[in-house]
Chain A
Amino acid sequence: MHKRNEKLGWLFASPYLIYTLIFFLFPLLWAVYLAFTNWNTIAPEYDFVGLENFFSALSSETVKAAFFVTYKFMIMFVPIVIIGSLLLAFLIHSLPRFKGLFSVGFFLPYLASGVATAIVVNGVLSYNSPFNEQLRNFGLDIDWLGSPILAPLIIALMMAWKFVGYYALLFLSGLESIPKEIYEAAAIDGAVGWKRFWHVTIPMLYPSFYTVTILAVGLMFGIFTEPYVLTGGGPEYSTHTWQLEIYNQAFEKLNAGYGTAVAIINSIVTFVSIYIFKKLLEKWGAKHGWE
């Protein structure tokens, strides 16, 4: 009976396993192999180059730029999106009715095309837009996308606008699941107002914080569309992300082997970064009784 159940289990899992094998595992193994070659994916012949692609990538200025730019985006995006989505979740939570309607409304930017959003932002920030012309009337002439500080901030804000509604839903579900009794008990102990917020609500939202932070951190390693359309990675590589580097190398310069090596380094950096955040979050959770 036990063996039969085991077989049935494998059988039911097999479609997913086959799918994973074909579309994830084989490509992954193939990519690892490719990273050790100089193949451009169209030449009939190529050579095995050992670790050369990895050494080149590690000493490349553009890869270094991608590495630091990702953390710069993280420093900007993660706090903005967490604070923004938390505020939005509180706002929706406090509504007496139509919570669902507002949740869906704020979720809509998540469905918006990154290309379309980037084109709109480009129009708004262009030199001769009404917005900039008004600013110039006040003596402010700001080169929004030409500044190495402002350009990444604008991209981080665009992404925050896109994801804030989605993450707010996660916080909202966390807020909705906090039992009233906990607040009542806290009130008896004198925890009201900000005290209640910091010592009850925030710790009780730990599972939501955990999910949102890990998702937001992971997202930073996959940024492509916004800088591709808006800045092309500039100015001075201040918005040059991992995905832009991989795309440029693999599809524009036809250095597929090298591009794959960069992709593997990117996945390792992503894994390590998420692991560090996971550990930090778990430490914080453990302090508040979350195991």
Chain B
Amino acid sequence: MKGLKKLFAVMLVLLIPLTGCQGSGDEASDDSENENVVEFEFWAAPNPTQEAFWKGMAEEYMKENKNVKINVSPMPESPSSEAGIQAAIASGSAPAASENISRGFAAQLSDSQAIVPLDEFEGYDDLIANRNMEGSIAGWEFADGHQYVLPIYSNAMMFAWRLDILKELGYKEPPKTYSEVIEVGQKLKEKYPDKFLWARADLVQPTWWARWFDFFMIYNAASGGANFTSGSDFVADRDAGIKTLTFFKDLNDNELVLTREATDPFETGMSIMMDIGPWTFPYWAEKFPELKYNETYTLSMPPVPDDVNPADSKTFADTKGIVIYSQASEEQQKAAFDFLTWVYSNPENDLTWFEKTNLPPARDDLSTNEAFLSYLEESPQLNMFAENIPNATPAIDNEKFVEIQEEIGKQALNPIMKGDKDPEKAWDDMVDAISGVLK
């Protein structure tokens, strides 16, 4: 019996470290040596560059604010960062704040009351004014009139064009309207039957997120960035939508699009147009140094219907931002907001971000503020992205955005690209399906 007791004791000792593994941010703040210190968790995007930026910012801030302790760590990806956040909220271990949140995911989080409205914090208006982002953030307002996300960067998605091949075809600049695009495509096929205007396999797949980089780029250009949904209502511009689908149909009918997986088709000159964000440039610098801005390639806003002024073209904003979570205590939420106010009160911090990540800070004055001019001169290919931040519309703010974007593919874009539907029917089928989702 004595031996048995000993064995129980050993088992107990072995179990203690296991139970000791548990813990949360809230408990950590209780354990702080100084009761006046507010401690909170900040999750950075799961990549070393962004994590390093936020760690640097937190260290600087903590030097000036001894009563705050910020623990910066990369958000878990299991298997995606969204799933990691979802698991953290479900288990009650969400951080006080995190970056890397898209507007669509924020809509899901706000619908579940998992994040707090930022516009209710004292000093919010000053933060927006100091960062010069009144224009950029206007498109971020949610259907309930609140702002839940502070956008960090905004990639106004562009189309890259092979300038060298365009010149061979007799053009000095990229086409700007639908008929000009088709004309360029036809000339390309005449001269190079094996080349394509655009290589994009996603056009025949219902992959929801792919719609940001094909359908929404063209639709936003055609509609002037008109909303797709408002609350639970479908409010998209039908005329612009049908023109968008007709453009895709014309591309397909003229056999200008390769809808099969291809490796670096634009870079190798197999296609002459591609949807592009600024994250591509470091890859090109490493793998395709022969691609030079305004020599071998150039950038343009998405093409518009023939009856629209190309100068009014809008595009999709690939943009992510910061949210503050409801699970954090009010004290932690306030401390997180104050930290963000501090970070964004100095344009130099945005410049550091821009230099480190190549992702354009979501500011209206990015192309005019002196703080960024020298960097933009060094990297002229980023100018177009900086100039068009106010012309870029972020993702739809509906919690059913995944289903909605899936239906755009399934009902409209995919059948159009397979030649199975005409644009009117495709649009109407899509509207019916999305209305069913929004019910």
* Shortest CB distance A147–B (Å): 10
The answer to whether residues A254 and B86 also contact, given A43-B112, A128-B262 and a CB cut-off of 8 A, is: yes
* Pair B262/A42 contact, Cβ less than 8 Å: no
Contact of A176 with B by CB under 8 A = no
CB-contacts of B69-115 with A (<8 A): 79-80, 82-83, 86-87, 89-90, 108-109, 111-114
* Pair A252/B208 contact, Cβ less than 8 Å: yes
Contact of B229 with A by CB under 8 A = no
Q: Which residues of B sit under 8 angstroms from A15, Cβ to Cβ?
A: 11, 14
CA distance A11 to B89 in the complex (A): 36
Interface hub of A43, A128, A232, A248 (most chain B Cβ within 10 A): A128
Contact of A20 with B by CB under 8 A = no
Contact of B278 with A by CB under 8 A = no
* Pair B90/A146 contact, Cβ less than 8 Å: no
CA distance A182 to B206 in the complex (A): 58
* Pair B206/A234 contact, Cβ less than 8 Å: yes
Contact of B292 with A by CB under 8 A = no
* Pair B205/A235 contact, Cβ less than 8 Å: yes
* Pair A146/B260 contact, Cβ less than 8 Å: yes
- A42, A235, A248: the one contacting B204 at CB < 8 Å is A235
CB-contacts of A236-262 with B (<8 A): 247-248, 251-254, 256
Q: Which residues of B sit under 8 angstroms from A123, Cβ to Cβ?
A: 263
Q: Which residue of A lies closest to B111 (CB)?
A: A43
Contact of B4 with A by CB under 8 A = yes
The answer to whether residues A128 and B270 also contact, given A7-B4, A42-B90, A42-B109 and a CB cut-off of 8 A, is: yes
* Shortest CB distance B222–A (Å): 27
Contact of A14 with B by CB under 8 A = yes
* Pair A41/B89 contact, Cβ less than 8 Å: yes
* Shortest CB distance A78–B (Å): 27
- B11, B112, B259: the one contacting A44 at CB < 8 Å is B112
* Pair A252/B90 contact, Cβ less than 8 Å: no
- A11, A43, A232: the one contacting B4 at CB < 8 Å is A11
The answer to whether residues A128 and B205 also contact, given A40-B112, A43-B113 and a CB cut-off of 8 A, is: no
* Shortest CB distance B147–A (Å): 20
CA distance A125 to B199 in the complex (A): 15
* Pair B402/A253 contact, Cβ less than 8 Å: yes
- B11, B15, B262: the one contacting A126 at CB < 8 Å is B262
CA distance A160 to B312 in the complex (A): 54
Q: Which residues of B sit under 8 angstroms from A248, Cβ to Cβ?
A: 402
Q: Which residues of A sit under 8 angstroms from B113, Cβ to Cβ?
A: 43-44
Q: Which residue of A lies closest to B115 (CB)?
A: A42
The answer to whether residues A247 and B208 also contact, given A4-B4, A42-B90, A127-B260 and a CB cut-off of 8 A, is: no
* Shortest CB distance B207–A (Å): 5
Q: Which residues of A sit under 8 angstroms from B259, Cβ to Cβ?
A: 146
Q: Which residues of A sit under 8 angstroms from B265, Cβ to Cβ?
A: 127-128
The answer to whether residues A126 and B205 also contact, given A251-B82, A252-B402 and a CB cut-off of 8 A, is: no
Q: How many A residues have CB within 8 A of the partner chain?
A: 32
Contact of A134 with B by CB under 8 A = no
CA distance A251 to B7 in the complex (A): 43
* Pair A247/B8 contact, Cβ less than 8 Å: no
The answer to whether residues A143 and B80 also contact, given A41-B90, A253-B402, A254-B108 and a CB cut-off of 8 A, is: no
* Shortest CB distance B2–A (Å): 12
CB-contacts of A200-250 with B (<8 A): 232, 234-235, 247-248
Q: Which residue of A lies closest to B265 (CB)?
A: A128
CA distance A122 to B262 in the complex (A): 9
CA distance A14 to B14 in the complex (A): 12
Contact of B258 with A by CB under 8 A = yes
* Pair B109/A143 contact, Cβ less than 8 Å: no
* Shortest CB distance A71–B (Å): 22
Q: Which residue of B lies closest to A228 (CB)?
A: B79
Contact of A8 with B by CB under 8 A = yes
CA distance A18 to B15 in the complex (A): 10
* Shortest CB distance B417–A (Å): 11
CA distance A232 to B211 in the complex (A): 14
* Pair A251/B11 contact, Cβ less than 8 Å: no
CA distance A266 to B402 in the complex (A): 23
- B89, B201, B268: the one contacting A42 at CB < 8 Å is B89
CA distance A247 to B78 in the complex (A): 11
Contact of A129 with B by CB under 8 A = yes
Contact of B290 with A by CB under 8 A = no
Contact of B370 with A by CB under 8 A = no
The answer to whether residues A232 and B262 also contact, given A128-B268, A254-B108 and a CB cut-off of 8 A, is: no
Q: Which residues of B sit under 8 angstroms from A66, Cβ to Cβ?
A: none
* Pair A126/B263 contact, Cβ less than 8 Å: yes
CA distance A15 to B11 in the complex (A): 8
The answer to whether residues A41 and B403 also contact, given A126-B262, A143-B260, A145-B261 and a CB cut-off of 8 A, is: no
Q: When each residue 32-66 of chain A gets 1 if its CB lies under 8 Å from chain B and 0 otherwise, what string results?
A: 00000000111110000000000000000000000
- A7, A41, A126: the one contacting B261 at CB < 8 Å is A126
Q: When each residue 3-35 of chain B gets 1 if its CB lies under 8 Å from chain A and 0 otherwise, what string results?
A: 010011001001100000000000000000000
Q: Which residue of A lies closest to B207 (CB)?
A: A232
Q: Which residues of A sit under 8 angstroms from B8, Cβ to Cβ?
A: 11
CA distance A11 to B4 in the complex (A): 9
Q: Which residues of A sit under 8 angstroms from B268, Cβ to Cβ?
A: 128
* Shortest CB distance B408–A (Å): 15
29 sampled A-B residue pairs with Cβ under 8 A:
A7-B4, A8-B4, A11-B8, A11-B11, A18-B15, A40-B112, A42-B114, A43-B111, A43-B113, A43-B114, A123-B263, A125-B261, A127-B260, A128-B270, A129-B263, A145-B260, A146-B259, A232-B207, A234-B205, A234-B206, A234-B207, A247-B79, A251-B79, A251-B82, A251-B83, A252-B82, A253-B400, A254-B112, A256-B86
Q: Spell out B's residues near A (CB within 8 Å).
A: 4, 7-8, 11, 14-15, 79-80, 82-83, 86-87, 89-90, 108-109, 111-114, 199, 201, 204-208, 258-263, 265, 268, 270, 399-400, 402-403
Q: Spell out A's residues near B (CB within 8 Å).
A: 4, 7-8, 11, 14-15, 18, 40-44, 122-123, 125-129, 143, 145-146, 232, 234-235, 247-248, 251-254, 256
